[in-house]
Each structure stands twice: as structure tokens, then as C-alpha cells.
Amino acid sequence: MQEKFNIVVVGAGLVGLTTALACAKKGASVCLLDKKSPSIKRDMRASAISASSFVLLKNLDVTELFEGNIQAIDNIFISDSQVGRKNKFNLQFQNSNNINYKGYMIDNSILKDALLKKVNKNPNISIKAPVKILEILRGSRAVKINLENSHIIEASLLAAADGKKSSLRKSADIGVQFTSYKQSAIVATIDHEFPHNGSAYQFFFPGGPLALLPLTKNRSSIVWSDTLSASNAAMSLNDTDFIDELSHRIRGLLGEIKLLGTRQSFPLNLQMAENYSANRLVLVGDAAHSIHPIAGQGLNMGFRDAAALADNVGRSIHEGIDLGGEVIKKYEKWRSFDNNLLCITTDLLNRLFSNKNSLLRFARRLGLNSVNHSELIKTFFIEEASGLTGDLPTLLSENI
């Protein structure tokens, strides 16, 4: 059996599902492949959704499926902290007449469930998972993918959304620039006594940042980055001792807290693909870039990749241009500069704040306090974090 599509997306994670929906929205026929079943697993992680990413999900008709299960971030408080000392917030982004931060938090499992439902109902998307890919042939005119049971998929373009260890990237001999931070991030969900009032908190400790991010109800997601040895020690604690240590660090900010579900730990590194494309292949999401969670922008970068690729795919279909030609180079040029700039920025921020240098700590606090007293600078940071500046793909516009 042989089927033909405009584009094949490999990887049915959050970015892969969004890429398929975005390209289908622009008129492409899409085949979505994954070696695993895309069924919803219990994932304790949650994601920060920028204003532009929310617009994308709205334009893809996804937001209607998680209404009531997404939490707006109304305020952001940042502290250059020391363990055991009373928390003092050096920088505050609070919604006002001058500054309006548009950001959200959502459980990954809820977001994936909504995306998967939309994919399954979309007549322009054929999802095949779990499936075993036997061979991928990227020729001068098309991509041919041989699946088990003599099933052949043919397309003009292949999008790799298969994660930071992307096998498609490796098979195309695309190298990466890799830096290990020698840190791990502990991710968990907590229930707390006091309401968070839509506030996100970021504490910078010498070993790495600790973020408290508001979820629906009286829940928050924690992303606790620290050295490998400290993270391993924290993960080895029983739940009671772990909560005691966390409470000690945040100084009872949210009252009595308790753990919901299990803890997960992930190694942290910076990884940037040297190219975003090869013959009839483009990289999206973590296959192209993986950054420190310090700014909560990882998934948003992938969503912007999906929207930019969809724009180029849609334009080429409308004009009758080969998707494997100029589409690839335009996409790569569009996304590589912005992504590399954000990769470098998060790298510098982590290096600046994750150290014990007393002089640097003094300079950091001085800088944070200076920014805190400048509405102009704060507005600039908010606009950048919202992802609503620069040359935006059409699916990130509210006026399509």
C-alpha cells in the first residue's frame, strides 16, 4: 500500500502535534508518524504558554478543549535568594495600566489531550502510531518512508519533531553544539494552603533557579534546578523530607504544601543544531534546539517553529512551488536567528545567576532593582516574553 502527502511529521509530542495541525490549517495534507502510541500518559510536567503561543492554539481551535484548565499568570516575582534567608523580591512584574503580562500555565497532559483530539478529528491529517519505520529515502523529488507491512508513505517534505536525541537529525548528519550545565531540573506538582493569585515566583540560588508556577485550583508546578549532586540528593529524599526542604527554600510563601503525584528529574543542557535543514528535511522543536528552563520558553520556541513552517508550506502549496525547495531555506532563515538568540540569552542568564560570587550577586541585585524601577524596561521584557514582537507567522496573529 502506498499513500502520498504534502508533508510527513515524525514525532507526536506537543510540537509534532501542533506542527501537523498548523500545516493542515494552511492546506497541507499531513501524515503524522510516531514509534509510540500517542495515548495520554500521566506527565507531571506543566508548560508556560506565551501570549503568542496561546493565539496559535486559539487559531488551531485547541483552546476550546481546555477552557477552565489553563491558569493565567497575572504577576511575576523574582528574587536573588539565599537558602534560609527571608525572601526579598528584587523584581516584580505586576499587571497594571502600563504593563499587562499575558502568559499561562497548563498541565502537559491536558494540553496533549486537546491537541490529540484535534489531530484525530482533522480530515487532512493521517496519524499512524505506534508504527515502525524501516527506512527513509530522501530523494531529489520526494521523500519515501517504508513502514512495516509493506506500507509506503511518500511526501514532498519531512519534518523532524522527534526530540533532542532526534534520529532524523543524526541520519542527515546535522551536527549540534552541546553544552552540559551539570544541573538537573526536578519537576513536580504541589498543593498549597494559600492561593497563588495567579503569581509566578522565581528564586535564584547559587546551584540554579527554583520556579513556582501557578496551575489551576490551589496547585503550582515546581521546576527546581540545581547541581547534579544536589538534585540527586533531593530526589533520594522521601516525600516528607523533600517537602520540608522545599518549604525551607521558599520560606512558607504558600503556606503548608504537599506533593501531588511523583517527582521527575531531567538533565539540563544547551543544544543547538548547526543547521535546521537538509535535503527535504526540516527540524522543529527540540530536534533543533533545547534550552535551559530558566525563562520557560522551550515549548514556545517549538510552537513558533510550527507556525513559521506552516506559513511557508501554505504559501508554497498556494503558489504550486515544490515544498522541498525554497520552503526549507526560508524556514531555516526565519527561525534559526531568533532561536539561537534565545538559546544564548538563557545560557547567559543561567551562568549569571547560578554561582556564589558575592560581587556578582551584588551586581545582580543592583541590576534587578534598577529594572524594577523602570516601567519602560519592564514593558520591553514583557513584550519579548509574550512573543508578540518581530516578524510573526500569520498563525500567531489574532487577525487571521
- Residue 353 has what pLDDT? 72
Determine the length of the chain.
Answer: 400
- Is 346 a domain residue? yes
Maximum Cα–Cα distance across the chain: 67
Q: How far apart are CA 78 and CA 213, in angstroms?
A: 12
Q: How far apart are CA 324 and CA 312, in angstroms?
A: 11
3-state DSSP call for residue 155? strand
Q: How far apart are CA 203 and CA 212, in angstroms?
A: 8
- Residue 99 has what pLDDT? 47
User: What are the start-end ranges of the H helices in 83-183?
Assistant: 108-121, 167-171
- Condensed to tens digits (0 to 9), the pLDDT of residues 237-287 reads 999 999 999 999 998 899 999 999 999 999 999 999 999 999 999 999 999
CA distances to 12, 13, 62, 122, 220 from 65, in Å? 18, 17, 6, 15, 21
Q: How far apart are CA 54 and CA 63, in angstroms?
A: 8
Q: Provide the grid cell at 50.
A: 506565551
Q: How far apart are CA 32 and CA 146, in angstroms?
A: 14
- Residue 384 has what pLDDT? 61
- Is 382 a domain residue? no
What is the number of structural domains in the chain? 1
- Residue 393 has what pLDDT? 93
DSSP conformational letter for 148: G
DSSP 301-318: HHHHHHHHHHHHHHHHHH
- Is 372 a domain residue? no
Dihedral of alpha carbons 214, 287, 152, 328, sign: positive
Strand-strand pairing, 257-273 and 176-192: antiparallel
- Residue 197 has what pLDDT? 94
3-state DSSP call for residue 63? helix
Q: Provide the grid cell at 222.
A: 515546581
- Is 312 a domain residue? yes
Angle between helices 51-59 and 14-25 (to 10 degrees): 50
CA neighbor of 400 nearest in space, from 10, 148, 22, 1 = 22
CA neighbor of 258 nearest in space, from 276, 270, 281, 242 = 242
- Residue 97 has what pLDDT? 45
- Is 219 a domain residue? no
- Residue 327 has what pLDDT? 85
First to last CA, the chain: 38
Q: Which amino acid is at 358?
A: S
Is residue 14 within 8 A of residue 108, CB to CB? The reply is yes
Question: What residues contact 298, with CB distance under 8 A and at least 6 apart?
Answer: 286, 290, 291
Residues spanned by the domain of 155? 2-41+109-177+272-353
- Residue 101 has what pLDDT? 55
CA neighbor of 386 nearest in space, from 351, 270, 378, 394 = 378
Query: What's the number of CA atoms in the CB half-sphere (13 Å) around residue 166?
Result: 36
Q: How far apart are CA 71 and CA 55, in angstroms?
A: 15
- Is 182 a domain residue? no
CA distances to 19, 27, 173, 195, 332 from 283, in Å? 11, 20, 12, 41, 9
Cα angle value 114/118/123 (rounded, 5°): 170
- Is 369 a domain residue? no
Write down the pTM of the prediction.
0.92
Is residue 289 within 8 A of residue 299, CB to CB? The reply is no
pLDDT in tens, the chain (400 residues): 899 999 999 999 999 999 999 999 999 999 999 999 887 666 778 999 999 999 999 999 999 999 999 999 988 888 876 655 566 666 676 665 454 557 899 999 999 999 999 999 999 999 999 999 999 999 999 999 999 988 999 999 999 999 999 999 999 999 999 999 999 999 999 999 999 999 999 998 889 899 999 999 999 999 999 999 999 999 999 999 999 999 999 988 999 999 999 999 999 999 999 999 999 999 999 999 999 988 788 999 999 999 999 999 999 999 999 998 888 999 999 999 888 888 888 887 777 776 666 655 655 565 556 555 556 555 655 666 677 767 789 999 866 5
- Residue 345 has what pLDDT? 82
Domain holding 301: CATH number? Answer: 3.50.50.60
- Is 27 a domain residue? yes
- Residue 138 has what pLDDT? 96
